[in-house]
Amino acid sequence: MRTISQLNNEGVVLTRDGEYEQARKRFDRAIALDGDNPFLYMNRGLAAQQSGDSAAAAEDFERAIALKDDLYEAFGALGLTCYEGGDWVRAEECYLKALSGERTAETLNNMGVLRFNQERYEEARRYFEEAIKLRPSFDAAQYNLWDVCHELGDENTALTSETRR
């Protein structure tokens, strides 16, 4: 019989390899053994999110957060699910909660995208710049910085950003 840890690790690898349904089955089995483990719900939510099942992803992220209210990665992932579903208010709440505990390049970039789409360009720029400081080779943040600088009429920074990509 596989342990919870083995099932979780297998699920993570399957998710990485794009085998989302198989990954979710591994997480289901692990959750059946330990239904109070927030990381299992978060990981199953990531598999659901990547497979396009936003409702299941949101449900799992919410469950993970209910079990561990400082699981900042789950807040960031829930924020993305909410953003993609058009609930920008909830997305903002989730991103801000995630960033209050852990400033990751992904969440900073996602918050920048939200601000860009709200036409809050200066704020978006700051988020993209911080994301790039954390991960200089983050292509999506580089592109987004170029886009917001172009929108702001800051062609020099936009050109500099373009040459860094």
Report CA-CA distances (Å) from 62 to 9, 59, 70, 100, 144.
21, 5, 12, 18, 29
The CATH superfamily label for domain 104-165 reads Tetratricopeptide repeat domain (1.25.40.10)
Report CA-CA distances (Å) from 63 to 57, 58, 59, 113.
10, 9, 6, 26
DSSP secondary structure letters along 96-164:
HHHHHH---HHHHHHHHHHHHHTT-HHHHHHHHHHHHHH-TT-HHHHHHHHHHHHHHT-HHHHHHHHHH
pLDDT digits (tens, 9 = 90+) for 97-141: 999 999 999 999 999 999 999 999 999 999 999 999 999 999 999
Contact 42, 61 (CB under 8 A): yes
How confident is the model at residue 1, as a pLDDT?
Answer: 81
How confident is the model at residue 108, as a pLDDT?
Answer: 98
**Is it the case that residue 156 has pLDDT exceeding 90?**
no
The answer to whether the predicted template modeling score (pTM) of the entire model surpasses 0.85 is yes
**Is it the case that residue 164 has pLDDT exceeding 70?**
no
Counting residues of the chain whose pLDDT is more than 70, the rounded percentage is 93
pLDDT digits (tens, 9 = 90+) for 43-91: 999 999 999 999 999 999 999 999 999 999 999 999 999 999 999 999 9
Q: Name, in order, each residue with C-beta under 8 angstroms of 5's C-beta and a sequence gap of 6 or more.
A: none
**Is it the case that residue 24 has pLDDT exceeding 60?**
yes
Alpha carbon distance 113, 132 (integer Å):
14
What pLDDT band is residue 158 in, cutting at 50, 70 and 90?
Answer: low
What pLDDT band is residue 159 in, cutting at 50, 70 and 90?
Answer: low
pLDDT digits (tens, 9 = 90+) for 131-144: 999 999 999 999 99
Helix axes 155-164, 139-152, angle to 10 degrees: 160
Report CA-CA distances (Å) from 48 to 12, 25, 52, 60, 155.
12, 11, 6, 9, 40
How confident is the model at residue 154, as a pLDDT?
Answer: 85
